[in-house]
Structure formats: C-alpha cells, structure tokens
Structure 1
C-alpha cells in the first residue's frame, strides 16, 4: 500500500465499492474459467508466490475455519492475510491483514493501484468476445496484491463458490481444506452432492495437505480421495480418522474441547462459540495451522487455547442483544439450519423462539424452514436489502405457511418492522419483563444477517459523555 499517500485520489469507499460491485457477478455461467485471474497475476508479476496458502472450500464452515486458522497462525507471530466472503456490512471486511480489515483509505489505495491492470485484462477479454473481470475476481486480485505488499507469511483464503473455476483457484494451497459438502448453488455447481464435490475438490493441488471435515454425505468421500490421489497431494487428514474431537463441554459463552491431530492432543481448549460444529471447525483449523506454522510436532497448548478463545465470527450464531436474546445467523442451507437448531437447543433454555427470516429465491427454502420448524414458536417472514435476489415476503409467506401452518406465520415487508414485531411477540409472553426464556433468531441469508447487524448495532451517543447539566 502507498503508506506515504494512501488514497491520494481522495475517493470515498462508497464510490469504489459501487464501482467494484457494479461489475458482472461470479454467477455468470459463461465465465467459468480462471483465465482473467491468471492474466492479471501475470501482469502483477505473480505476487501469489510470495506467501504460503491455506485454501478453504465447502458448503458450510469456511468462514469459521478461516478465522480460527488465521488466529492460530497470528498467535505464533506470523503475518497473516485473510480473505473471506461475503461481507456482512462493509466491503472492507473481505480483506484483513494481521487480523485487521483494511481501512477505507487503504482499500481505496489498493484498488487504485490495480485498476489499470484490471482495465488491460478487461480489454483483452472483450477483444476475445469474453466477459470482463467479475467483481469477485477484482476483489481477489486486490487481496492477493495487498497480501504480497504487506508482506504476509501466510494467506488464509475462502473460495467464493465451488472451487475448480473459482477466482481464488489461481493459488496453490499448502493446506487445502474441504469443509462439509451439501446441496447449495445447484444451478452453478450441479444437482447432486457428487457433482458439487467434483467442483470443490478442484482446490487440491500437487504437494498440498488435504484436510477434510466430517461430511454429511458419505458419497463425497471417494471423490475427495480420488482427487487427492490424482493431484498428488502429500497426505489427507480426515475428521473422524486422523483428526478427532475427543470431548467437548458447553461453557459460559462457548465450550471447552479436547482435540487430537497427528501431532498431538490438545486438552481443555476454550472456544468462544457454541455448537458441536464449531468444535469440529476448530479441529480442522488446528490441523491447517499445523501445516503452515513452522514448528516441529504439536503446537503449544497454551498458545492454541489463547488464540481460539478470542476468535469472533460475525454473523454466525452471533448473539447481539440480551433481554430479549437476539441471535443472528447467516446460514442459508439445510446443514446450516440443522447446526443453528442444535446449537440453540443445546445452549439456550428458551420456552419461546421467534424466527425472523428473509431468504434468497434460489435457496432450498422449504427444506431450510422445515429444519427450523421444531425450534420456532412463530416465524416472521420478511425481505432483506438485496432486492434483485431476495424472495418477496408474499412468496415466502406462502412457503412458510406450508411448513408452519397459517397460525404461526406473520408477514412484515421490511426487516426493521419484522424485528420489531418479533420483539413485541416475545414481550407479550414475558411476564417478568427480563427476557429470560424468550429469544429471537434472525436468519436465512448473510445479507439478512448483515442488515440485522446494522439495525441492531449499539450506537455511541457523545451527549452521554457530557456532564448531566450540559446534555441536550
């Protein structure tokens, strides 16, 4: 980054974000190649070769595993880059160095530095009758450029979608993490878990260590094994075989786990997240960190415990309010709904749970709602801010009534009204007025989660810093 003259053009982050996000989406099926990414990295001088890589794919768990892996690597003094998607509230969230997202000026500066190279790639693509770079390709190029410029020792990178043709697959992974594979993005990745797995194993590269999460579908295992063999991976580590969650105990604000990897046993590790799935995410993250941290044998148990105890994962089973308890979750498929339901049932003593749900039209909506039906007392259906993709509240109401019955479904056309309606519903049942035993879950999409976080964020009131007599 140009630390001497950050954002020398004086552009705002909003201007740059609109310019980037106005590009074609990565969902364009005529765009299924990494030619443009290879072209821009060639123009950059291949900065991706300057750091080690943990590359993550899978239907669920990528964000959690990525953040845990980054925390572990940083706790050992390594400089880290983290690239995740989607963002919840601000585009800057996608790119972080040493645990801190790029600030506005640095984000704008990075974009200004590569913008001319993007234009060259766009021109060449158009001349060939191909699409210009997508917004995700531009963001991926920005992340790689910023990581090399920092410079980082290791980059932890989530795929955007799939694996084989994802923009991030220009990277050669030292550790290739295959998270749980389930049905999602079927219109682009395939209509069976086997087809989807075939896309996701594309991140496996020669000499990489492949780390495989516990899989909800056994049918994907032969596909992963064959890809690791064909691509000459160094070794494959499976959750449930070489990797194990030996024990887990719910605790205040999270859980305490004992984990086993081929390097050793890590006892009584605190994790600042609820849910059995997060224990397994921590296990996979630990195995990935062991690949890229230059230590022989097991990592130091105290350092591991300190790192994992402080990992925050926005928008994933995130409690943002108390009295009443409000939980936000960005998961949007059946596997995510199952994890959400099980985690709440295990860790909260709710007698009433009101769901606030807004989902994209292309998701398995009826199946998702069906998974949550035993948990939710009532459901308020609504819409999020992505007008082009979100299912209308009217349509979602029809689906929800099929699952819950008419008497348990309420429609509010805007998310603020839906959240307020849910608060009113729990207040009506809260005889003591303290919120205990009553909860609200806002879920169905990362866009929904991001919108809710913005709405429910506590805002600083500078007037409160003044003496009482001077307050307005």
Structure 2
C-alpha cells in the first residue's frame, strides 16, 4: 500500500502489529532515541504530566477544559481509549482527525524503523522494537508540536519514572491517589509504587498531590525535596471546601492554590470526581503561578466546570431502566464507584454486567460490588485480554452465591439479560443496570448503545 493510500484503519493495523502495550520492557532508551531523531518535539511546549492509580484521564480532561475556557490551544494524551485509538491524541478537546492521524504516523515511521534497527540503543540494553504505546506517545508529541499547542496535558501509561511519556519534563506534575496496581512492574507496596510514580516530578516543577496515604505522601514529598519541586497538597494547600448534591451532578466550592471558587456545577458524580476537579483547578492555577497577572476568572472557571465530562465514568447512556457505564478496572476505583452509587443514585434494584481483563484484581472488584448489586451478569468484552468467563463466574459465585450469578458470554445478550432481571418483580421505579469492570467493557457498551451516532469530532 502506498503512502497516499494509507488510511486510519491501516495505520491502526500497523500499530497493533507492534510490540503490544501489555508487554512491557521498562526502559526509556527507545523513546529517548526516537525523540532525538525527531528533534525533541516534546520540548516545544509546556507539559502538565499526570500519574496516579485512578482518576488520571478524568483529571486530564478537566485540565484540558479549563485551559480551553481560558483561550489556550491544548493537546491531550490519555490511554487507553474507549472506542478509537484517535481518542488518545486530542487537539483542542477533539480527537485527532483521520487525515492528521495518518500524516503523523507517516512523519515518524522512518524514525521508528531506525530505532527498531537498534539506532541509539546501548549494546547492554534489551533489543526490542518500539511498542504500540511508545509509538502512540511519539505521535502525540509530534502532533502537538505541529499543531502547535500552547500546553500539552499528558497522562502516563504505567508508573512514571520509565513510562514512555516521561521523556518530557512536565512543568506541573499531578499525582492522583496511589494504590496497589501493576505489581509485576511497579512493586507490591505503596512505597515502591509511589517511588516509580514520583519520577514525573522534575526539578523546579510544581507537584499537585491528591490526598494520599501516609506511605505514598512521604515518598512523594521526599522526591519534591530531592529535586527542588514545590508541593501543593490536597487538604492543605488546596481542596474541596463544600460539596452538595445537585441535579445531574454536584455543586462545589473549591479552595485553589491561589483563590477560592464557589458555585461550581460539575455534571459528574462522586467525592472522587470532586477531588479530581480540585486537582485539575490547582494544576491550572499553578501553571500560571499564584502571583501571575493572569488570574482565573471565577465566571470562566464556572463555565469550564459546567462543560466538564468524563465519558465512560458513571455515564448514563439510557433511561428506563437507567443504564450506567463505568470503566472502573481495579478495587480502589470500584470502591469509589460503589460509594458514588450509594450517595448519588436511588436504585431500588440494580443489576450488574461485569467483564474484566485477565491481569486485573477481579475478586477485589466483585467483592466491592456485592453490597450494591441484586444480581450480577458475568460476560466478556471484545478485548483479547478479557478474562475467562467461567473463571470469572466462579469468583462471582464466591461472593454472590450461585442464585445471584448469571453467565452470558455475549455482551449484548448480557445487557439484555440484565435489563430483564432489573425489571422483574414489583420494582417499577428506580431500577438500573451497571456495566463495568474494564475500559474495554465500557467502550464496547458505548458502541452498543449508540451504534449510529455521530462522534463529537465528526461533521454532520
């Protein structure tokens, strides 16, 4: 296929043929060589770098919304995607166009081939090809430089210190709450994981630290001292002052690092999303500096909060019965989801549809779900990483009992079964369905509920 015939779908196939993002060789040598060959696009704009265990993508979207409300041109890189890999690279809030996606890949492909062949790789380093995630990261940095953007908001893929995104020096580092995850690569204690994630805190930067356990906080603050970074801590230098339920979300008052902002209507539920919003606001304030002449207008901040979204995060996709999609994929996130369901929704009967990836703590998630679900339908998503359905069902039976577990191998049938179960009996109001367990599950479900809809970035 000639370059002129290359399509977005063809590029995706080429990317998928690369070293998979689930097979990790912890090193920055390939990315550093690649960035050198590309003339360091990641250094041509300021970067807001985000890591943590949960909430990274939501915080990235919120920061993006705030910057755009202030008139800045933004680039945003997040992962994984819900429906299309182009969602990972956003320009001014919209996924990169198919044409630009193809052009960006074509621009960096010669450099990929050089690094694949070992250019710039030390003899003592493991010789592996540039991975899918590394390629997407390089495409994002190149696209942001070409745009150009005024600021890039970049979410790590895993960890921080050796993550592919960490070839950039973030002016602001945002670290959301840290829990146990990816122990094979990051370590099996909070301290070890926090140490890896603290690697995005660079000399003379500002670190926006969400509320952390004592173990994580000590590691992060030690890193700040080591590199001369300024730390702003949720609950001390900034945080949510007041939070009240509101129609379609919550009303917040937030004390930022520079000012207080009241009557902020956020169309997202849960204490965790309020915390995410506080971190996002503090990051944008810190970007301009507490003493900057460009203070944040409270009206502009209110407008930005009103427009904030987080697709696939407790997203209502249908009523009658109320059907909620949630991309939670670990126990800490599921705990927050359950707390939000109990606080913000009034279900008289709730049925879960659950499919998770095989490398996740499935038992930990199902244990969190049991108190709020009347029954659970076990299924699979379209990912090759989807966990064996019979094995998942056995775990579910341990917590729910056999009489509360249904198995449906096909996701559409699983959702139909959940709807039928939700509407059984005398519950005529307040019945619902929760589809959760994985980002892949959330993405597949969104496609099912909106198969013909125009995406926000597509013209009518």
**TM-score scaled by structure 1?**
0.92
1:407 maps onto 2:403 in alignment: yes
Match of 2:415 in 1: 419
Match of 2:276 in 1: 281
Task: Deviation per CA, 1:55-80: give whole Å up to 9, x if none.
Answer: 00000010111000011111111110
Contact 2:349–2:427 (8 Å) recurs in 1: no
For the residues of structure 2 that align with 1:250 and 1:268, how far apart are their CA atoms? 12
**Superposition deviation, residue 431 in structure 1:** 5.7
Contact 1:154–1:292 (8 Å) recurs in 2: no
**Superposition deviation, residue 43 in structure 1:** 1.0
1:338 maps onto 2:350 in alignment: no
RMSD: 1.7
Contact 1:27–1:188 (8 Å) recurs in 2: no
For the residues of structure 2 that align with 1:460 and 1:44, how far apart are their CA atoms? 37
Match of 1:218 in 2: 214
For the residues of structure 1 that align with 2:439 and 2:387, how far apart are their CA atoms? 14
Task: Deviation per CA, 1:193-231: give whole Å up to 9, x if none.
Answer: 11111111110100110000112x321111011111112
**Superposition deviation, residue 380 in structure 1:** 0.3
For the residues of structure 2 that align with 1:452 and 1:330, how far apart are their CA atoms? 10
For the residues of structure 2 that align with 1:431 and 1:206, how far apart are their CA atoms? 58
For the residues of structure 2 that align with 1:437 and 1:110, how far apart are their CA atoms? 48
1:71 maps onto 2:68 in alignment: no
1:397 maps onto 2:393 in alignment: yes
1:133 maps onto 2:127 in alignment: no
Match of 1:32 in 2: 26
Match of 2:440 in 1: 447
Superposed, 1:52-451 pairs within 5 Å as 52-124=46-118, 128=123, 130-215=127-212, 217-233=213-229, 235-293=230-288, 295-296=292-293, 298-387=295-384, 389-429=385-425, 432=428, 436-451=429-444
For the residues of structure 2 that align with 1:149 and 1:166, how far apart are their CA atoms? 23
**TM-score scaled by structure 2?**
0.94
Match of 1:4 in 2: none
Alignment partner of 2:5 out of 10, 15, 31: 10
For the residues of structure 1 that align with 2:137 and 2:48, how far apart are their CA atoms? 15
Contact 2:348–2:427 (8 Å) recurs in 1: no
**Superposition deviation, residue 296 in structure 1:** 3.0
For the residues of structure 2 that align with 1:132 and 1:260, how far apart are their CA atoms? 46
For the residues of structure 2 that align with 1:260 and 1:248, how far apart are their CA atoms? 12
Unpaired segments ≥5 residues, structure 2: 455-460
Aligned length: 448
**Superposition deviation, residue 460 in structure 1:** 5.5
